[in-house]
Structure 1
Amino acid sequence: MHRSSRGAVLDHVARRVPELSGGDCPRVAIDGPDGAGKTTFAAELAAAVRLLGRPVTSVSLDDFHNVRAVRYRQGRDSPLGFWQDSFNYPRFRSDVLDPFVPGGSRRYRPAGHDLDTDAVLDPPWRTAAPGTVVIVDGLFLHRDEIGDAWDLSVFLEVPFETTARRMAQRDGTNPDPAHPGMRRYVEAQQIYFAACTPQQRADILIDNEHPGEPRIVRG
């Protein structure tokens, strides 16, 4: 598919979100490497879904990190540690994914950890309206622990050379993906790609190297 306007791609994805019976809530994953544009895409997708008259709630896996002692137990520079220890999947499943299984309670909590303070969070439970579209953005969303949860999944494909430059602008990291300071992130993604082939598992694969003109590769 040729490059298209961002609005057209977002509308295409929004219309692909299934409408489930019985007021069940479709769960939508926006996956991709660090710097791929997941958070922005998820927010704009939420707006596109609302334009179709559907209720939406948005959650980020970034709000379900493990505490620092767990995240860095294999070393602060370890790619394997980043891949294995970054996120609290049991908590994310219990607080976000399980409430939205077919016939689920729709009673969820949108966060479990504050990355800045390292505090474990227990915010009040929220109850989503029947049929709410649950949009989740985050890393590694097609890994085995949670990959079976999605009613629709998107992978944003962007070369590491581009994501490293975006991360440098956002986080102040080195813009060269081959720099030792980027090893933890880049090699963790390579582990993920080899173990889970998210580009193949995703229902929709989007080339997001040029955010203003994304390209639907598949789906």
Structure 2
Amino acid sequence: MSFPPTGFLPTRQLVLVDLLSLMLATAPGQRAVVAVDGPDGVGKTRLVAELVALAPHVAGRQVLSVGIDGFHHPRARRHARGTTAQTFYEDSYDYDRFRQEVLHPFRAGREIVPAVWDVAADREVRPDPVEVEDDALLIVEGIFLRRPELAKEWDATCLVTAPESVTVPRGNARFPQRAGADDPEDPRNARYVGGQRIYRLQSRVAPPTWIVELSDLQRPELIVPDPDDPQWFEQG
């Protein structure tokens, strides 16, 4: 990431610096795992990539990232029980394999395998393992990460959020078959929007450590929520 020569930092870069500073303060001197989750199309992947690019300029520790999308189940497994919102939430990811290849070895200081499945090609992949330092910070990015069965895996969490009226068009722009389906209630969005709505209810047990409101990609808002304030349970 390069900064403007004048030294002026746009709002997005200022927020990224602040967010990264908060993440770097998590479990100092130890390996730490931070989950960055939010709905499809909100801008998580780009945000995390920018945090990792920024880290060498401001961090005194190794910062790595892994995307949960690299741990999809094969398409046949994902669709075996149908293509409903419920199966999207329940059957998309192989969390046991994710723990086996990433979380457990990371905590133990061993190499991690950053992905095992190419969801677009629907085939297994074998990337080179990645070495981790003693105080590395691992950022895990993807959807559904604050679900109850994963909540205890994270040292901190960041919810990246925006209204459905924003995230649905952004997400659908990547898929020609859903072109023009910008209304969240369009039947073509039922599986994905419905899955996110199920998740919002499930994730109430694990309120986020931080929230980034990303309706405006260039002017995100960083929020440190009060975990006792119920309004935050409705985000994401």
TM-score (norm 2): 0.83
Greater Cα shift, 7-16 or 126-135: 126-135
1:95 to 97, 101, 109: 101
Q: Percent same amino acid among aligned pairs?
A: 33
Determine whether 1:165 maps to 2:169: yes
* Distance across 2 between alignment mates of 1:164 and 1:19: 32
Q: Are 2:41 and 2:172, in contact at CA under 8 Å, matched by a contact in 1? A: no
Unmatched 5+ residue regions in structure 1? none
Alignment-derived partner of residue 112 in structure 2: 108
* Distance across 2 between alignment mates of 1:213 and 1:123: 35
* Distance across 2 between alignment mates of 1:136 and 1:157: 16
* Distance across 1 between alignment mates of 2:192 and 2:89: 9
Q: Are 2:11 and 2:220, in contact at CA under 8 Å, matched by a contact in 1? A: yes
* Distance across 1 between alignment mates of 2:104 and 2:193: 30
Alignment-derived partner of residue 204 in structure 1: 210
Q: Are 1:24 and 1:100, in contact at CA under 8 Å, matched by a contact in 2? A: no
Name the Cα RMSD after superposition: 1.8
Alignment-derived partner of residue 130 in structure 1: 134
Q: Give the drift of 1:119.
A: 1.6
Give a deviation string over 1:182-218, Cα, whole Å, max 9, x none. Answer: 00000100000011127x6110012111111111232
Alignment-derived partner of residue 43 in structure 1: 49
* Distance across 2 between alignment mates of 1:50 and 1:20: 18
Alignment-derived partner of residue 191 in structure 2: 184
Alignment-derived partner of residue 55 in structure 1: 62
Q: Are 2:39 and 2:143, in contact at CA under 8 Å, matched by a contact in 1? A: yes
Q: Are 2:109 and 2:134, in contact at CA under 8 Å, matched by a contact in 1? A: no
Alignment-derived partner of residue 224 in structure 2: 218
Unmatched 5+ residue regions in structure 2? 1-9, 226-236
Q: Which structure would you say has the larger RCO, counting Cα contacts within 8 Å and 6 or more residues apart? A: 1
Q: Give the drift of 1:120.
A: 2.5
Count of matched residue positions in the alignment of Structure 1 and Structure 2: 211
